[in-house]
Chain A
Amino acid sequence: MSEDTPPKPAQSRPVEFRGGGFAPKSRRWVGLAAFIVLIGLAEIGTRSGFITPLTLPKPSDVLATFGELYQSGLLWKHLFPSLSRLAVGATLGASAGIGVGILIGLFSYIRAGLVPLVAAIFPIPKIALLPLFVIWFGIDEGSKYALIAFGTFTPTVVATYGAVDNVDRTLIRMGQSFGLSWMSIVRKIVLPGAMPGILSGLRISLAIAIILLVAAEMLGAQYGIGAYILEAGSLYDLERLFVGVVILSVLGVTVSAVIGWIERRVLGWRT
């Protein structure tokens, strides 16, 4: 072999590599490590006195407060109403949003009528409408459901009709060319084709739902994460405030993970 290789010319060097990069890879534990490092820094800073207790509570104290909350049984008392408000409100808003979004995507007249309306409603801060909802739906659960539902509705509509618009038209023509009924085309081609867009819209809508949940609970609820945070905030009890914030973050991460799981299940066909 070595005899066969031609002698290297005097000036030869390997070609410089300049490709690679720009391709996100899965790095599983880095996200967790970032959390740990940040919390660790806060712990060291507060313990050493570099960060005063008024600026930031000690992460270990926050954990201890969380333990107390759990042991007193108050955690579930606050979490359960919040979760049920979130579930009811978000389900109402998202399903109405998906329904209306599909109608806008399919019918030109409905599109012409509703798209400007949705555009007009979208930028209204829904929290500003809470007094109105209280008058319409009562001071208790009704107004909270309505606020969350209304807030998730608009982004879901926009994401859904965008997703329907993006369904590959050649697939629809294919369905027509095989004589599929209108209903079959909608059910078997348009809806599955719009699914990726609808699910990524839900990610945003549900995050908004959590924000609105807290806002609604701050304005009139005895129990709930929002009420807990408001109470802690007005007493400047930073440990408890942070416990509430951490619960919300965990809630957000969980919702996002659930949608990710649904995407893997339902959208396994994507390349």
Chain B
Amino acid sequence: MDIRLSGVSHSYGQLEVMRDITLDIPAGKIVCIVGPSGCGKSTLLRFIGGLERPDKGEVLQMGEPPKGCLNPLTFIFQDFALLPWRSVRGNISLVLEDHGIRGAEARVIIDDVLARTKLSDFGDALPKQLSGGMKQRVAIARALAVKPAVMLMDEPLSALDSQTRELLMDDLIGLWTRTPFTAVYVTHNLAEAVRLGHSIVVLSRRPGEIREIVHLDKPLSERSFGDPDLDVQQKHLWTLMRDEARAADAELINV
């Protein structure tokens, strides 16, 4: 299942945040969206996920989601969004219960996603007992449990320290290599973008427009920390963004 955005524009009252975004998200690829703060990256993701409606333009699902997919468009949030009163297993079972999956059937799915995110030993822990990295892995496990067609990741590593971030990036690459998934990955971190993106969409500052789409051909599994090729790409992205970011930083926020 592909996603197509055509002519998406949006404003909050007088404030135009996004202008004429047209973009294809092909199945099986990770598309990163980068841009200076306030350019509407996260808003764009919420449009794709149907949590907000754009003023103009449309977001289209191309084709049917694969069979067995419970929730085609599934979010992973920056702040994890785990229910603090439910255990790790309870948090995953939450998203299965509404599909009538309970008991043994749910247990099979939960065991599987916990194993894939290396959390098998922590099923009964409460979120407050987990480190930030583990919390985000629970959120990833929860997303995997509904077999999404497209993962919508809203700065999923931004709330973590840089070491945890490296580890989780490796985990995400491992997950993708074993079973490629489609993802839209919003981030302000260019290092994450060049590590995880098959293509990187650079947005301008508010109102957000597509400045450039960079394609990276190197397979994800061959990208690693401190890769010189990636450094070149990252520098290129930074030159594209630097002036925009500086201008965005100097603006007053009145949302």
User: Would you give the 0/1 interface string for A156-184, flagging 1 where the beta carbon is closer than 8 Å to chain B?
Assistant: 00000000000000110111111111001
A192 at interface by CB-CB < 8 Å: yes
Taking CB as reference atom, which chain B residue is nearest A188?
A: B94
**Count of B interface residues, CB-CB < 8 Å:** 24
Q: Residue B51 at the A interface, CB < 8 A? A: yes
- Among A171, A174, A189, A270, the most chain B Cβ lie within 10 Å of the Cβ of A174
Q: From B72, which residue of chain A is reached at the shortest CB distance?
A: A179
The reply to whether A179 and B71 form a contact with Cβ atoms under 8 Å apart is: yes
With A180-B95, A269-B128 known to touch, is A174 a contact of B84 (CB < 8 Å)?
Answer: no
Evaluate contact between A180 and B83: CB separation under 8 angstroms: no
Contact (Cβ within 8 A) A174 B77: yes
Minimum CB–CB distance for B135 against chain A, Å: 13
Interface residues of A (CB under 8 A from B): 170-171, 173-181, 184, 188-189, 192-193, 195, 267-271
Choose among B70, B75, B86, B127 the residue that contacts A174 (Cβ–Cβ < 8 A). Answer: B75
Given contact pairs A177-B152, A178-B75, A269-B84, enumerate 6 new A-B contacts (beta carbons under 8 Å): A171-B81, A174-B77, A176-B51, A179-B70, A180-B95, A269-B128
| Distance (whole angstroms) from the CB of B127 to the closest CB of chain A | 8
Interface pairs (29), CB distance under 8 Å: A170-B77, A170-B79, A170-B81, A171-B81, A173-B75, A173-B77, A173-B81, A174-B75, A177-B51, A177-B71, A177-B74, A177-B152, A178-B74, A178-B94, A178-B142, A178-B146, A180-B95, A180-B98, A181-B98, A184-B97, A188-B94, A193-B85, A267-B85, A269-B84, A269-B85, A269-B127, A269-B128, A270-B128, A271-B128
Residues from chain B with Cβ under 8 Å of A171 in the complex: 81, 83
- Please tell me if B126 contacts chain A, counting CB pairs below 8 Å: yes
Contact yes or no, B98 A189, CB < 8 A = no
Contacts A173-B51, A177-B75, A179-B98: A189 and B83 contacting too (C-beta < 8 A)? Answer: yes
Total number of residue pairs linking A and B with CB closer than 8 Å = 58
Q: Collect the chain B residues with CB atoms within 8 Å of residue A174's CB.
A: 75, 77, 81
Interface residues of B (CB under 8 A from A): 49, 51, 70-71, 73-75, 77, 79, 81, 83-86, 94-95, 97-98, 126-128, 142, 146, 152
Could you tell me if B49 and A270 are in contact, using CB atoms closer than 8 angstroms? no
Residues in B neighbouring A267, C-beta threshold 8 A: 85
A195 to B83 Cα, complex, angstroms: 13
Taking CB atoms, residues of chain A closer than 8 Å to B85 are 192-193, 195, 267, 269
In the complex, which residues of chain B have a beta carbon less than 8 angstroms from the beta carbon of A184?
A: 97-98
